[in-house]
């Protein structure tokens, strides 16, 4: 059975073309049958989705998510939705807020538990969701028309992410395994939406002993090849748990 008054939404952030992007979709009720194996669940979800404005016009987009089956745990189901939507596993995913204003969904009262995920779409091969007619990346500064309070949810996720990157090294989930200091700084600038002093940034990052010099450099670049770094998993996990004071 589907809990019509409780849903899970994922704000999926990606670092694409040196900009912060959000992955949005347009769902299709007829495709839900491939995901929801119980006929009762399918009929319930079809009824809910048919009242979604995204199905009346191709200009509306929404966050990847759906209503929660009664037998599913929240965190487990959020990971399942993310995997079904992108084909990706082991993605950084964190619950950040519950949205429950009375009028946020016009046709019924719905509480939405929201998560944000971090990936780098340029270094992952994503699969088209089997329950969507379209999935697309959008620049955070150029979002399309969205349904309900999706923009409010994205704004809240971005605010949380901006707080998080100052105290935990979660930004590395949006980089390739090997990266330059310039790529790292560009990522932080994209998330925080501000220019950073290069000398100060590099000094603070290197002081953490979080980075490992791979002894490699960029290849096939027109400019002077820069050093490639990776991050120390042991220190990364420690800082993720304990946090750090990385005032930028």
DSSP tag of 36: -
pTM over 0.95: no
Q: Which helix (H) or strand (E) holds 82?
A: helix 74-86
**The pLDDT of residue 31:** 58
75: exposed, middle or buried (C-beta count within 10 Å: 0-12, 13-18, 19+)? Answer: middle
**The pLDDT of residue 196:** 93
Summarised one tens digit per residue, pLDDT across range 75-104 is: 999 999 888 877 888 888 999 999 999 988
Calpha distance 177→190 (Å, rounded): 19
**The pLDDT of residue 192:** 92
Residue of 70, 89, 71 lying closest to 79 (CA atoms): 89
- List, in order of start, the domains of the chain with CATH numbers: 2-149 (3.90.79.10), 166-242 (1.10.10.10)
Summarised one tens digit per residue, pLDDT across range 185-203 is: 999 999 999 999 999 999 9
Neighbouring CB atoms inside 10 A of 110's CB total 18
Summarised one tens digit per residue, pLDDT across range 28-45 is: 656 555 555 555 555 555
Q: How many H helices and E strands in the chain?
A: 6, 10
Counting as low any pLDDT under 50, the low residues of the chain are none
């Amino acid at each position: 059975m589907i809990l019509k008054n409780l849903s899970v939404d994922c704000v999926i952030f990606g670092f694409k073309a040196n900009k912060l992007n959000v992955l949005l979709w347009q769902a299709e009720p007829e495709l839900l049958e491939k995901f929801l194996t119980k006929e009762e669940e399918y009929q319930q979800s079809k009824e809910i989705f048919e009242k979604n404005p995204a199905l009346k016009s191709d200009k509306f987009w929404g966050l990847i998510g759906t209503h929660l089956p009664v037998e599913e745990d929240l965190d487990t189901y959020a990971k399942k939705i993310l995997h079904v939507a992108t084909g990706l596993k082991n993605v950084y995913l964190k619950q950040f807020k519950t949205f429950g204003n009375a009028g946020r969904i016009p046709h019924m009262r719905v509480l939405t538990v929201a998560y944000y995920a971090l990936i780098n779409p340029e270094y992952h091969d994503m699969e088209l969701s089997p329950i969507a007619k379209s999935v697309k990346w959008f620049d955070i500064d150029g979002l399309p028309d969205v349904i309900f309070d999706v923009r409010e949810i994205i704004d809240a996720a971005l605010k949380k992410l901006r707080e998080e990157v100052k105290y935990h090294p979660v930004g590395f989930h949006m980089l390739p395994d090997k990266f330059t200091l310039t790529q790292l700084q560009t990522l932080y600038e994209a998330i925080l939406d501000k220019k950073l002093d290069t000398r100060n940034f590099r000094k603070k990052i290197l002081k953490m002993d979080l980075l490992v010099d791979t002894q490699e450099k960029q290849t096939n670049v027109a400019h002077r090849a820069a050093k490639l770094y990776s991050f120390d998993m042991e220190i990364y996990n420690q800082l993720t748990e304990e946090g750090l004071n990385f005032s930028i």
